[in-house]
Amino acid sequence: MLKESEIKIGDIHTAILVEDLKRTQIVQYAGASGDYNPLHTDEIFTTQVAGYPSVFAHGMLSMGLTGTMLTDYVGDGTLKKYGVRFTNQVWPGDTLTSTATIIDIREQDGERVVDLQIETTNQNDVAVITGNATAKIES
């Protein structure tokens, strides 16, 4: 858990989430999450029927990868809220980097919490996820 005495508004945490995303990892996420939409795993269907240049990652895989960065930073079991918009698709071969920026430190329901702004970008510096999170901190 983050300690209030060790953080301040404007602090930034950055992590590389994945380098050269493999189709197999997308398959792995399909199996774990139960979302077998062929748009994510079936290159033939996705290119020939759906009209996309390739399969692409589940939005929830990007959110999950970003969540790994987030909990590595704020600690286990401390999240109160975590929400994202999927602003661009994530393709096999992408390298994703994510940042969490502290935008507020405040009281909520008798607990000290931190508000974070989140952005995950690809290798072309295009945002694939933007979002927010709130986590408990130690006062």
Binding site for another protein (CB under 8 A): 1, 17-18, 25, 28-29, 31-38, 41-42, 44-45, 48-53, 58-61, 63-65, 67-68, 70-72, 75-77, 79-86, 88-89, 91
CB of 72 to another protein, least distance (A): 7
Tokens standing for residue 66: 């970003």
| Closer of 19 and 104 to another protein (Cβ) | 19
CB of 87 to another protein, least distance (A): 9
| Closer of 64 and 101 to another protein (Cβ) | 64
Which DSSP category does 23 fall into? H
Long-range contacts of residues 30-35, Cβ cutoff 8 Å, at least 24 apart: 30/58, 33/58, 33/60, 33/61, 35/60
CB of 55 to another protein, least distance (A): 11
- Residues forming beta bridges with residue 130, ordered by sequence position: 85, 119
| Closer of 4 and 42 to another protein (Cβ) | 42
CB of 40 to another protein, least distance (A): 9
**Strand spans (E) along 2-110:** 12-18, 79-86, 96-108
| Alpha carbons 76 and 135: distance in angstroms, whole number | 10
